[in-house]
């Protein structure tokens, strides 16, 4: 009915908190941990087949996004896991790969975050931007472009708007979960 794939690989199975909303069409594979009140929207792929992926409480990953990680190598034995903090907003069709997103980070629609990149708390990657490997968006910074570059600092009102977005997605995810259960 739901057309959701949740599958183990290499002996590791996704761990999904009971309160999370996983929409139809999602594919969640391998070493993935999804926290409380997370919403994974329609047709997302979260593939922890070569490393781990952690998604913190109340984070939302919007429709059509892809979350992956990078394999260990001789030069980097730990590889690049994808670690996503709490209260993170990830827009539609984003690509999040082998990176770290601190609590309250924001990834805009169609944006790309590459292996080894970091977005600190309340940092924002604008829609369509590409944060290349090894780059860090600092706390309360807005970056834009391909490759992304610093644009300006975010004010209190802009950070509050992002948190209202988090609350909206937690509530909306529960509405969708209930509607699909009928």
Q: What is the pLDDT of residues 9-31, one digit of tens each?
A: 999 999 999 999 999 999 999 99
Q: Determine if the peptide bond prior to 5 is cis (ω within 30°).
A: no
Predicted local distance difference test score (pLDDT) of residue 79: 94
Radius of gyration from C-alpha coordinates of the chain: 16
* pTM of the model as a whole: 0.96
Predicted local distance difference test score (pLDDT) of residue 2: 67
Can you tell me the mean pLDDT for 88-105?
98
Output the average pLDDT for the chain.
96
Can you tell me the mean pLDDT for 67-83?
95
Give the domains, in start order, of the chain with CATH numbers: 5-174 (2.160.10.10)
Would the pLDDT of 1 be above 60?
no
Predicted local distance difference test score (pLDDT) of residue 182: 78
Express as a percent the part of the chain with pLDDT over 90. Answer: 98
What tens digit of pLDDT does each residue of 42-69 get? 999 999 999 999 999 999 999 999 999 9
Q: What are phi and psi of 174, to 5 degrees?
A: -70, -35
Is residue 53 within 8 Å of 82, Cβ to Cβ? yes
What tens digit of pLDDT does each residue of 130-156 get? 999 999 999 999 999 999 999 999 999
Q: What are phi and psi of 159, to 5 degrees?
A: -65, -40
What tens digit of pLDDT does each residue of 154-178 get? 999 999 999 999 999 999 999 999 9
Residue 7 CB-half CA count within 13 A: 12
Would the pLDDT of 6 be above 90?
yes
Predicted local distance difference test score (pLDDT) of residue 145: 98
């Amino acid at each position: 009915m739901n057309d959701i794939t949740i599958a183990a690989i290499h002996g590791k199975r996704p761990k999904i908190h009971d309160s999370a909303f996983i929409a139809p069409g999602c594919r969640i594979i391998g070493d993935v941990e999804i926290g409380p009140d997370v919403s994974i929207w329609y047709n997302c792929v979260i593939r922890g087949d070569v490393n781990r992926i952690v998604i913190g409480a109340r984070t939302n990953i919007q429709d059509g996004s892809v979350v992956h990680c990078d394999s260990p190598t001789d030069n980097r034995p730990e590889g690049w896991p994808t670690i996503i903090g709490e209260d993170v907003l990830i827009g539609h069709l984003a690509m999040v790969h082998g990176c770290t997103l601190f609590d309250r980070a924001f990834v805009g629609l169609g944006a790309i975050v590459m292996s080894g990149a970091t977005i600190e708390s309340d940092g924002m990657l604008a829609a369509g931007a590409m944060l290349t490997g090894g780059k860090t968006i600092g706390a309360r910074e807005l970056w834009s472009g391909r490759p992304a570059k610093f644009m300006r600092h975010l004010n209190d009102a802009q950070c509050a708007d992002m948190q209202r977005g988090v609350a909206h997605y937690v509530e909306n995810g529960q509405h969708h979960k209930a509607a699909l259960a009928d």
